Amino acid sequence: MTEVSRVVEVPPEAVFAVLADGWLYSGWVVGSSHIRDVDADWPAAGSRIHHSVGPWPLHIQDVTVVKAVEPGTFLSLEARGWPLGAAEVGLTLTPHGEGRTRIRMTERIVHGPGKVLPEPVQALIAKPRNAEALARLADLATGKYANRKSAQP
């Protein structure tokens, strides 16, 4: 299993607010290029984001499914991108001091051709991509939180 983490300067609920908005998925998930639809009950277990993966016009249309959720602290996804395969992705949010959050992202290939790659090779591919995903998630959460705070009287 591949793991990356990052500390962000916003509380866990601010990070989870981004995760809970399925329309923001392509803004932080590296490789996701377009959101076609988001189930109304996202991020409930079993709900889906219908997305495209890869550059146009070569993109693949597929879905990401919520496997488990603990609002505010944890989200487990099965991210698909056939014919490339599917990965189980976990995002754990833990408070890290006053108003800060440690985001821990894990990924494990569960279906498809990538599953036959040795874990060190999978990590070479996944770690940089997931580190970038956390940087994007941090920026979205920080910006969204700052805008929310400035809008309060």
**Concatenated DSSP letters for 114-130?**
GGGS-HHHHHHHHHHHH
Query: Integer distance in angstroms from the first to the last C-alpha of the chain?
Result: 45
Q: What is the pLDDT of residue 59?
A: 83
Phi, psi of 74 (to 5 degrees): -155, 140
CA distance linking residue 94 with residue 70, whole number of Å: 12
pLDDT tens, 32-65?
A: 889 999 999 999 999 999 999 888 788 888 899 9
Per-domain residue ranges of the chain: 2-147
Domain range 2-147, its CATH number among 3.40.50.300, 2.60.40.10, 3.30.530.20, 3.40.50.20: 3.30.530.20
Nearest CA to 91 out of 108, 74, 71 is that of: 74
Q: Is the pLDDT of residue 22 over 90?
A: yes
pLDDT tens, 92-133?
A: 999 999 999 999 999 999 988 888 888 888 888 889 999 999
Cβ atoms 2, 104 nearer than 8 A: no
Q: What is the pTM of this model?
A: 0.90
Cβ atoms 71, 96 nearer than 8 A: no
Q: Report the percent of the chain where pLDDT is more than 90.
A: 67
